[in-house]
Amino acid sequence: MKIVALAGGVGGAKLVDGLARLLSPDELTVVVNTGDDFNHLGLRICPDLDTVCYTLAGLANPTTGWGRSGETWNALEQLARLGGPTWFRLGDLDLATHLERTRRLKAGDALSRVTRDFCAAWGVRHPVLPMTDQVFETWVLTVEHGWLPFQEYFVRHACEPVVKGFEFRGAESARPAPGVLEAIGAADAVVVCPSNPWVSIDPIFKVEGIKQAIQGCPVRVAVSPIIGGKAVKGPAAKMYAELGIEPSALAVARHYTGRLTGFIFDREDSQYMSDISALGIRAVVLDTLMKTNEDRVNLACKVLDFCALNQTGIRRS
Ligand code: FO1
């Protein structure tokens, strides 16, 4: 079965890793949010792309989920000594990625091309595509500071400001990166990973043509990033609450209304089964928390089973 996975950062990367352990590079393409990308210290930083690639390459920091394992912080310490900005922590190993990416982009290479070459260098075999090669910026409207670029909200202010809304600057002119529409067009199923619906998945749907292409795919399945009213990681639940929506798996299913054929949520939230089914989508409860590599593979295996079930109505053997 050919799968396109839509992913943001850490939560998405874990499921992508599970899928990649089960599917060949021909069977899995990952489309990654680039709304979090920004310029910092003169460098182009693409956090979600790097998180997905480092995870697939086995290079990711297991504690934070972002950045590199075995990281050292000499450059950051020297930057602090010089009075430079250290609120966004760039490790020594990670810096090489940003330096070379920035050099390549300045020389005129597209982000998708640079990502493809980096993946080859890191031994990542599955295609990882940025959603777009154009600049696309997620901004967060906050009560305390007005509009903030995403990383200012997320890292500098530690997701503390109260959220009032989002804006996706550049969305009108952004076009899908090469290969994105082709992969979706050839997919048997699109899997929406357990990433933040507001700021990781919605941006992907905002790129011209991607939403329509996904609607043309017969099977569209999402995994809830909210378990027991809380986000496994990050501010998704806090965002729902601040926008006047009770955070829950049901809220996530409603968020994606009209976009899905199937929805996977945690066993802990079984009480929402009838309300979610009433949205006209096929739903299933599973153990969705991914603490270990084995959990990633187990969930990915069940996601694939559920996709097959959505496709044919008959469970895969
Ligand atoms: N997240 C943090 O909370 N603090 C950081 O200092 C930080 C640095 C960082 C550096 C490179 C990178 O690729 C990601 C980094 N992240 C950091 C994570 C990232 O900003 C967010 O997790 C994503 O944008 C949300 O998906």
pLDDT band of residue 9 (cuts 50, 70, 90) is confident
pLDDT tens per residue across span 157-201: 999 999 999 999 999 999 999 999 999 999 999 999 999 999 999
Q: Is the dihedral of CA 103, 105, 109, 115 positive or negative?
A: positive
Q: What is the torsional sign of CA 172, 174, 180, 182?
A: positive
Which protein residue has the closest C-alpha to ligand 1 atom 18? 66
Instruction: Pull the structure tokens for residue 287.
Output: 């153990």
pLDDT over 60 (residue 27): yes
Look-up: residue for tokens 């700021």? Answer: 199
pLDDT > 90 fraction of the chain, expressed in percent and rounded: 96
Output the CA 92–ligand 1 centroid distance in Å: 14
* CATH architecture classification, 3-135+171-309: 3-Layer(aba) Sandwich (3.40)
Q: List beta partners, residue 263.
A: 222, 283
Distance, CA of 306 to CA of 219 (rounded, Å): 10
The predicted-structure confidence for 130-142, as pLDDT tens digits, reads as follows 999 999 999 999 9
Q: Residue with the nearest Cα to atom 19 of ligand 1?
A: 47
Task: Determine if the pTM surpasses 0.95.
Answer: yes
The long-range contacts involving 82-90, CB below 8 angstroms and separated by at least 24 positions, are 84/41, 85/40, 85/41, 87/155, 87/156, 88/40, 88/45, 88/151, 88/155, 88/156, 90/40, 90/41, 90/43, 90/45
- Tell me, what's the pLDDT at 311? 83
Task: Name all residues whose Cβ lies below 6 A of ligand 1.
Answer: 8-9, 36, 45, 47-48, 50-51, 66-67, 88-90, 94, 151, 154-155
- pLDDT of 317 > 90? The answer is no
The per-residue pLDDT for 313 is 55
- Between CA 295 and CA 298 the distance in angstroms is 5
Distance 84 CA to ligand 1 centre (A): 18
Question: How far, in Å, from the CA of 245 to the mean position of ligand 1?
Answer: 26
Give the residue carrying structure tokens 């060949």.
Answer: 24
Question: Which residue is closest in CA terms to ligand 1's atom 26?
Answer: 9
